[in-house]
Amino acid sequence: MDLVSVYNKNNSNDLSTPEHEHVHLLRTYPACLCQALNYLHEVMKIKHKDIKPENILIDRHDSIIITDFGISTRHTDSTNPITYGPTGYTAKYGAPEVIDSQDEVGVGRDYDVDTFSLGCVMLEM
């Protein structure tokens, strides 16, 4: 795995971005995020399992970069559940089937848990 250094031009601490640029970003980034996650799932066959704002970077060319693949897995069989330990994912962005698990190991099928997490991220935008 390569070390990637990017410039996060839209840091949430930077409030100097003009209002009209925020509107443009809200129109552009959700579609880019969906394309990035679709590429991850359909082409790379990867379940990320921890989609959250801190793991999404935007470079100086406004390209979306999904990072932190520490708990991600390759999707080889749709009947094989994604398992999560009590730690390793961010509960705030976790799908209900992951959070509500009774045995402290959340289970989610297919890529749905990533899609749910992405929806949570978009709601925060």
pLDDT one digit per residue (tens) for the chain, 125 residues: 344 445 555 555 444 455 666 677 778 889 999 999 999 999 999 999 899 999 999 888 888 899 999 888 887 755 555 555 545 678 888 888 776 664 444 455 578 889 999 999 998 87
Residue 94: the pLDDT is: 85
The residues with which 58 forms a beta bridge, in sequence order, are: 64
Report helix, strand or coil for 6. coil
Question: Catalytic one among 2, 14, 50, 100?
Answer: 50
Residue 13: the pLDDT is: 47
**Rg of the chain on CA atoms, in Å:** 15
CA dist., res. 25 & res. 124, Å (int): 13
Residue 19: the pLDDT is: 62
Catalytic site includes residue 2: no
Sketch out the chain's domains with CATH numbers.
Answer: 19-69+81-124 (1.10.510.10)
CA dist., res. 49 & res. 68, Å (int): 10
| pTM for the structure as a whole | 0.70
